Amino acid sequence: MRIFTKLFVVLAACSAFGLAHADVKVGVILSLTGPAASLGIPEQQTITMWPTEVAGQKLAVTVLDDASDPTAASVAARKLISEYNVDILVGPSVTPTALAAMQVAGEVKVPMISLSGGGAVVLPQTGARTWAFKMPPSEEIQLNVIFDSMKKKGEKTLSIIATNNAYGQVFIDEAKKVAPSAGIEIVSVERFGATDTSFVSQALKIKEKNPDAVFIAAAGTPAAMPQIELKNRGYSGTQYQTQAVANNDYLRVGGKALNGTLVTVAPLLVAEQLPDDNVIKPVALSYVEAFEKKYGKGSRSLFGGMAWDAALLLEQAIPVALKSAKPGTPDFRVALRNALENDIKDVVLTEGVYTMSADDHNGADARSQVLVKIQDGAWKYVP
């Protein structure tokens, strides 16, 4: 039960939010401690930059730490809804915690914008999931970028490494569906835990298979461990990662073992390197400049960008919802949900272009992902 002692500390995103007099209440659940803290911390930093009001209504923002634990995320969601009477939830940071919070949000009919990547948070669009929306693009979009790269490089065999949670499983399932049509053979699948301290046995199995490439589906700093072990074992094939590793802590932990890694990421990460005709570039640069002015050069994070994009969605949805209901009411929650579903059309965010619908509560199109290469601790855009 120790985890709950951390949970109920409210982290004020900014005193200017004016909790006592705010009209629209936003509850935020993030992994500020635990294995996913490298995702949650830049998200919380970005939330301090959110607007203090939208459509003339002040925002009240309450942030709770779920310690990267699904049970704690569920408790946090209930607390924010029952005690703070929030109109909408934002977060959590990773798929297992988001799935837990999503069940609560759907049960009590509060919309939720998830910052986690797993498609299981919004698919299938039935039951509790009809109240959930998510920022990261679909697994299929990310895998298509990876498989296209493999085909260009003449790579035909692939080993998958995934964390033993919902995030990893969704990528395994989707890869098995998409790989055959891309001409890619999956020769092995290995799992590991986010808190594991060794990857030796799995690395030896992969080395024996000697695939052309390895794809790792894991979040944050734990994703570096398989790469370090494979490097130590002399594996020289291409290693691919998802954007769930796109932060400086992952680069720090992985060090030189990460050189040459290809990562499918949102354009924000390499905003300055994008072609000038990329519609996302000016929006991404605006956020990057503001964030790095406050937190230092090179401090940008895709996870912070997702938190910023959640605010941009709120700026789209809140004015629409206000036309039919008042904040703090069940009707306003319904109106917010409906606005997110029906009124997000070709909206350019820092990480992609989004169009949501009743069937698609993500809405990101292929422009939400580019390929980058890690070289000497830096991200290099791959045209």
The DSSP code for 326 is: -
Query: What's residue 3's pLDDT?
Result: 42
pTM score of the predicted model: 0.83
Contact 217, 168 (CB under 8 A): yes
Query: What's residue 12's pLDDT?
Result: 39
pLDDT digits (tens, 9 = 90+) for 92-128: 999 999 999 999 999 999 999 999 988 899 999 999 9
CA distances to 50, 206, 234 from 201, rounded to whole Å, are 45, 9, 14
Contact 3, 57 (CB under 8 A): no
> Hey, what CATH topology would domain 3-137+292-367 get?
Rossmann fold (3.40.50)
Contact 94, 68 (CB under 8 A): yes
CA distances to 114, 205, 206, 361, 365 from 229, rounded to whole Å, are 32, 12, 11, 37, 34
Task: Please choose, from the candidates 218, 145, 156, 217, the residue with its C-alpha nearest in 3D space to the C-alpha of residue 187.
Answer: 156
Query: What's residue 97's pLDDT?
Result: 97
Query: What's residue 247's pLDDT?
Result: 85
Domains of the chain: which residue ranges? 3-137+292-367, 143-265
Out of 3.40.50.2300, 3.40.50.300, 3.40.50.10300, 3.10.310.30, the CATH code matching 143-265 is 3.40.50.2300
pLDDT digits (tens, 9 = 90+) for 213-257: 999 999 889 999 999 999 999 999 999 999 999 888 899 999 999
Residue whose token pair is 């959930």 = 132
Query: What's residue 118's pLDDT?
Result: 85
Task: Please identify every stretch of the chain with a pLDDT value under 50, giving residue numbers as ranges.
Answer: 1-22
